[in-house]
């Protein structure tokens, strides 16, 4: 049976630039983008066209920021998609390559962030599991100082973006992808966990705030109901635009009420 032709819409670099501007993306601003390429429709040029369209909308003085997380650099005992046999765990820990911001690929965040990561002139933050990449004049200011024991908290790019008045663009992505909500977890009572990962000197364990996107979709629904969120279409994708600071402030109040979490150590250091 022949493959049916795509139903569209046909999306180009120019339609992306135009529709992003119509949504409200402003030249010169700093924008944290969470994206789903497949949600946009048939994009002529794929992820490269999407990045070019975003850069066109932001202009030469704008800065594009994306998550480039590497959740696979983690303890194999916690893997579930798929799990690996327990008898492999020690060998995996002993041989897993350490994070290198220049070459370690992003994982689980889509092809657009990986395209930004490899773009000429892109910078990337130093955290081995929850890095961000950026293009533009504010890139270094956003990314510098990402502490190795602070995944998405006060010493991460999220706090910098909040202070700079940056905005979030959900481009076909849902609120479960909204990393800004995680910054709120650092400002309310939250569990702390032992986080294992490969380091320059071998396997290492750090104590971190436990982060979870559980119920972020519900949080996003209420946030959108109560706060000004710009909504529109870019290609076939639902798009949402709002300030990082608004999302963090709302999440602080919402999580404390709707998803309280006790301070604890769920398991001993690995």
| DSSP bridge partners of 31 | 64, 167
Contacts of residue 8, Cβ cutoff 8 Å, sequence gap at least 6: 41, 42, 236
Contacts of residue 267, Cβ cutoff 8 Å, sequence gap at least 6: 193, 194
Spatial CA neighbour of 138 closest among 212, 61, 69, 210: 61
Q: How confident is the model at residue 117, as a pLDDT?
A: 98
Spatial CA neighbour of 188 closest among 252, 141, 95: 252
Q: How confident is the model at residue 92, as a pLDDT?
A: 97
Q: How confident is the model at residue 262, as a pLDDT?
A: 64
Rounded Cα distance between 181 and 186, Å, is: 10
Q: How confident is the model at residue 208, as a pLDDT?
A: 94
Q: How confident is the model at residue 265, as a pLDDT?
A: 42
Q: How confident is the model at residue 116, as a pLDDT?
A: 98
Contacts of residue 59, Cβ cutoff 8 Å, sequence gap at least 6: 27, 28
Q: How confident is the model at residue 1, as a pLDDT?
A: 64
Consecutive sets of 10 residues in the chain, 270 residues long: mean pLDDT of each?
74 98 98 97 97 98 98 94 94 97 95 98 97 98 96 98 98 97 96 94 94 96 97 97 98 95 46
Spatial CA neighbour of 252 closest among 175, 179, 189: 189
Q: What is the CA radius of gyration of the chain?
A: 19
């Amino acid at each position: 049976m022949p493959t049916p032709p795509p139903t569209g819409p046909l999306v180009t670099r120019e339609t992306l630039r135009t529709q992003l501007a119509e949504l409200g993306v402003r030249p010169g601003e700093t924008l944290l983008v969470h994206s789903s390429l497949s949600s946009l429709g048939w994009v002529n040029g794929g992820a490269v066209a999407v990045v070019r369209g975003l850069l066109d909308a932001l202009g030469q003085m704008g800065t594009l920021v994306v998550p480039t997380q590497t959740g696979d650099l983690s303890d194999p005992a916690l893997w579930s998609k798929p799990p690996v046999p327990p008898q492999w765990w020690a060998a995996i820990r002993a041989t897993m390559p350490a994070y290198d911001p220049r070459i370690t690929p992003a994982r689980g965040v889509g092809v657009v962030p990986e395209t930004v990561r490899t773009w000429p002139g892109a910078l990337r933050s130093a955290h081995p599991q929850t890095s961000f990449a950026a293009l533009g004049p504010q890139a270094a200011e956003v990314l510098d100082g990402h502490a190795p024991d602070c995944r998405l908290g006060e010493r991460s790019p999220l706090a910098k973006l909040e202070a700079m008045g940056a905005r979030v663009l959900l481009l076909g992505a849902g609120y479960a992808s909204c990393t800004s909500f995680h910054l709120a977890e650092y400002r309310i009572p939250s569990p702390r966990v032992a986080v294992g990962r490969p380091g320059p000197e071998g396997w290492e364990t750090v104590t971190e705030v436990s982060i979870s996107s559980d119920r972020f979709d519900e949080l996003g629904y209420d946030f959108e109901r109560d706060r000004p969120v710009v909504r529109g279409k870019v290609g076939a994708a639902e798009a949402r635009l709002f300030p990082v600071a608004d999302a963090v402030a709302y999440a602080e109040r919402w999580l404390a009420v709707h998803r309280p979490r006790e301070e604890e150590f769920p398991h001993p250091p690995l």
